[in-house]
Structure 1
Amino acid sequence: MTVSPKAASLRAREICSLAPIVPVLVVDDVATARPLAKALIAGGLPALEVTLRTPAALEVVRVMSGVPGGHVGAGTLITPEDVRAAKEAGATFGVSPGATDEILAACEAEGLTLLPGAATASEAMRLLARGYDMLKFFPAEASGGVSALKAIGGPLPQVSFCPTGGVSAANAGSYLSQKNVVCAGGSWVAPKDLIAVGDWAGIETLARDAAQLEVCK
């Protein structure tokens, strides 16, 4: 079942609008997948991005996809093979650090909603011309941060972003205060030290705090 860029972007916007923060997760141990997802969802963060950076990542997507109330996506999609594997594992959306014609075509062909990455006005314009108006701004801090997003928003007010990369509890509010930001991606809500000791209550508390962040309307 194919998906058009406009339909994919609409669905990506819906997912990004579920909560102010999308947890960006690097998970090494499949055994932690279910309790981690349950803690984040219980804390009010239902959209989860599992990065395909570990051997366990696809199985983590599969397990997390079975947790009620969650919307599990696969991040770090680089190749069409990544797209197909993510879809087969149960991902309901994908996230890419950038955007190539091959990645866009693969997601459209597989019917996988994509949040494609862009770091410049030219990249955003190219994606907009194809039909994508909900994008990932990456790497956010290294690409100019809030001031860059504000500048891009001037000539391209129809494009919205999920800034990711260097977003933290300390600066997330500044990003979310921008008119062209729907949500932000961050890893601080699932720190490795808390995952390692199984402190799911602590992670739920971090998620609950993040879920209370205000987004510019």
Structure 2
Amino acid sequence: MTGPSVLDVSPVIPVVVLDDAGTAVPLARALLSGGIGVVELALRTAAALDAGARFLVSPRTTRPVVGAARRRDVPLPAGVATASGALPALGVDLHELTSVPAGYLDPVDLADPADVGCVGGHRITPPDGFARRDSGRVEEPARAAVALR
């Protein structure tokens, strides 16, 4: 794939669990209004499969995952948990890495936030997902997360 990196599109990539595919578009619009242009849908429910994908993320960089991304011509920021975990990704010419397990990242944890182009996290969307369809509950934390950049 050519063009801008997925990691350059948004300073934060929230991990979202969808229980209802019908909430995907309103949720995405609320996140976009808050300044977030990329969402990672966790494949924990059937609804996530119905929402579509423009890139893949995996907690491990395996040949089948790399092959799936290349067959679909979609980006794959390789999931790594340690520095040594980055070696398999670099070995198959993947140079964009994402930290796993994903979780909440406090800006205090960053030695120099300017060195981090993009972070992932769970706490941008409410714990109950987007069941109430209250865009303010998504837009406000999204704006706060984007302000970290």
In structure 2, the partner of 1:117 is 79
Is the 1:167–1:184 contact (alpha carbons within 8 Å) kept by the matching residues of 2? no
Is the 1:194–1:202 contact (alpha carbons within 8 Å) kept by the matching residues of 2? no
Task: Describe the SS at the equivalent of 2:84.
Answer: helix
Whichever residue aligns with residue 135 of structure 2, its letter is: W
RCO greater where, 1 or 2, for CA within 8 Å and sep 6 or more?
Answer: 2
More helix by share: 1
* Structure 2 portions without partners, runs of 5+: none
Change (3 A) 1:112 1:56: same
Distance 1:209 1:52 in 2: 26
Is the 2:12–2:119 contact (alpha carbons within 8 Å) kept by the matching residues of 1? yes
Distance 2:56 2:142 in 1: 21
The 5 A counterparts of 1:79-158 are 91-139=53-101
In structure 1, the partner of 2:25 is 34
More strand by share: 1
In structure 1, the partner of 2:110 is 175
Identity of aligned residues (%): 36
Task: Describe the SS at the equivalent of 1:207.
Answer: helix
TM-score normalised by structure 1 residue count = 0.62
* Structure 1 portions without partners, runs of 5+: 62-90, 140-164
In structure 1, the partner of 2:103 is 166
Whichever residue aligns with residue 85 of structure 2, its letter is: E
Report how far residue 111 of structure 1 moved: 1.0
Change (3 A) 1:176 1:196: farther
> Which structure has the larger Rg over C-alpha atoms?
1
Count of residues in Structure 1 that have an aligned counterpart in Structure 2: 149
1:52-88 Cα offsets, whole Å, 9 max, x none, are: 1101111123xxxxxxxxxxxxxxxxxxxxxxxxxxx
Root mean square deviation, CA, Å: 2.1
Whichever residue aligns with residue 131 of structure 1, its letter is: D
In structure 1, the partner of 2:144 is 209
Report how far residue 179 of structure 1 moved: 6.2
In structure 2, the partner of 1:52 is 43
Change (3 A) 1:27 1:176: farther
Distance 1:107 1:192 in 2: 29
Distance 1:206 1:187 in 2: 11
Report how far residue 27 of structure 1 moved: 0.6
1:105-162 Cα offsets, whole Å, 9 max, x none, are: 22112212111211222221221132111111112xxxxxxxxxxxxxxxxxxxxxxx
